[in-house]
Amino acid sequence: MMSNVPSELKYVSSHEWIRDEGDGIVCVGITDHAQDLLGDVVFVELPDVDAEVSAGDDAGVVESVKAASDIYAPLSGTVVEVNEGLEDAPESVNSDPYGDGWFFKLKLSDLSELDDLLDADEYSAQCEDE
Amino acid sequence: MGQKTPLYQLHQEMGAKLVDFGGWDMPLHYGSQVEEHHQVRQDVGMFDVSHMTIVDVSGPEARKFLRYLLANDVARLELQGKALYTTMLNEQGGIIDDLIVYLMTEPGSSSEWYRLVVNCATRENDLSWMADKAVPFDVTLTEQPDMAMVAIQGPNAIETVCRVLGESRTRLISGLEVFQGVESEGWFIARTGYTGEDGLEIMLPDEEVAEFWKSLSEQGAKPCGLGARDTLRLEAGMNLYGSDMTEEVTPLESGIAWSVALEPTDRDFIGRSVLEVQKDTGVPRKLVGLVLETRGVLRGHQTVIVDSGEGEITSGSFSPTLGLSIALARIPATSATEAKVVMRGKEVGVRIVRPPFVRKGKKVFA
């Protein structure tokens, strides 16, 4: 089954997507491919607002019926907002991974890290190799 | 590539995610296992369980053989079609498999025979064990590899099946007690299941199952996969062989002492002497239910810490009906009502409860 990989987003190999919202702020979630691998999501543990994270740090946990899976901060910065809607509706990670299923927003500390991200084609190629 | 049931193509057409299960390609889910779970609790779902192994036991000594082979006593079956849940033990009292046995004839009939339904992952081991133990008895074991099996489960299951079947089979179904089955022109229709809901398990010839499945679908039964089957049985407090029970543990250590018939005392069955000793000296470990009332999901093999020592989760998952995580765990004997589970490096408090967790759609533990 082909998963949805929107071309306007950026990606990291650990299956998070990144949307540049301007002013050094990005929104982060997990990809359609990742949610499909996880199955029904039942809990999401998000980082605290104001937490400082470095690229690659643990930044939460997604629990599905099948397994627990770490969420990684794809970039370095400060958490400025988390998706509180996931508390009551974790299933939106499955139904709308690029919309209502977003996880958190980061104020970036190093904008040059944006250059290291994968684009949609590169991420799709990685998923096909898995 | 694994073995395929006669419904394999229909599963693909219905969007199933197929996984290997005991050497068979089986549906894990058809989109969302949580939705399928709710469908069974609230309405009606259907499962392809054709991978399960059906073995018929006949011959003049069928009853005598099964009374020796099985930990539960087939002499308790006093009505044609009645079913019994039992384990089959090794000499050490360890569980080789759990199974359902149906009495297919009138009790005491000279042509008495029984139907056994055993797990698919244990098939070869079971069949060779049974064949070996059958040698001194005048019995015939006949596997039925050309029969498919569909479980239709949920509060509206029986009504839905009756809309599909003709008047005569509907009449047969309406006469069934819980845990009883009936034969009908090559079909065997039983009021049994593995979900904690009312429903039917129907065995029928391979070539008839696709049409039956399609008719059920047209009448509103939604296809459900192994994922929902697992969360449903866990909520119902039913053990899964290979996870909650193995050859290393006895039924008394597995929460199913009720399925062992130590009375009458003169019935010799394989494993009996070990169970008697265990009963007299005390069971060292027991299988309990755990409930996590905070966020997170209990998982198999996590360590459980109680006042009397350490144990392990044997099955853990999220309970869609309760909205929290539940588990079965084997722990050292204790009267404690609380335990700690090591989850992702942290000790988290859980309650110890007596399963089941859910019956007929409702929470049942205190």
The pLDDT tens digits for A20-56 are 999 999 999 999 999 999 999 999 999 999 999 999 9
Could you give the angle at the alpha carbon of B298 between the alpha carbons of B354 and A84, nearest 5°? Answer: 120
d(CA B297, CA B290): 11
B227–chain A Cβ distance below 8 A for any pair: yes
Amino acid identity, residue B288?
Answer: V
CB contact under 8 A, A43 and B34: no
Residue whose entry in the numeric block shows the structure tokens 């309650």: B351
Tokens representing residue B38 in the block: 């709710």
pLDDT surpasses 90 at B293: yes
Q: What is the mean pLDDT of chain B?
A: 97
Tokens representing residue A88 in the block: 């009551």
Kindly report the number of other CB atoms within 10 A of residue B48's CB atom. 26
CB contact under 8 A, A65 and B344: no
Mean pLDDT within B251-280: 97
B206 by DSSP, 3-state: which?
A: helix
A96–chain B Cβ distance below 8 A for any pair: no
Report pLDDT for A2: 66
pLDDT surpasses 70 at A1: no
Q: What 3 state SS string does A28-94 have? A: EEECHHHHHHHCCEEEEECCCCCCEECCCCEEEEEEECCCEEEEECCCCEEEEEECCHHHHCCCHHH
Q: What is the mean pLDDT of chain A?
A: 95
Mean pLDDT within B60-76: 98
Banded pLDDT at A129 (limits 50, 70, 90)? confident
Residue in B with minimal Cα distance to A43: B296
A45–chain B Cβ distance below 8 A for any pair: yes
Q: Over the stretch B214-257, which tens digit does the pLDDT of each residue have?
A: 999 999 999 999 999 999 999 999 999 999 999 999 999 999 99
Closest Cβ–Cβ partner in A40, A45, A68 for B33? A40
Report pLDDT for B365: 82
Q: Helices (DSSP H) in chain B: which residue ranges? A: 8-13, 33-42, 62-69, 123-134, 157-164, 167-174, 206-218, 226-235, 272-281
Cβ atoms of residues B194 and B240 within 8 Å: no
Pairs across A and B, CB distance < 8 A: 35
pLDDT surpasses 70 at B59: yes
Q: What is the ipTM of this complex?
A: 0.86
Q: Over the stretch A51-107, which tens digit does the pLDDT of each residue have?
A: 999 999 999 999 999 899 999 999 999 999 999 999 999 999 999 999 999 999 999
Report pLDDT for A128: 87
Report pLDDT for B120: 94
Tokens representing residue B158 in the block: 């029986």
Say what percent of chain A tops pLDDT 70.
98
pLDDT surpasses 60 at B267: yes
How much is the pTM?
0.94
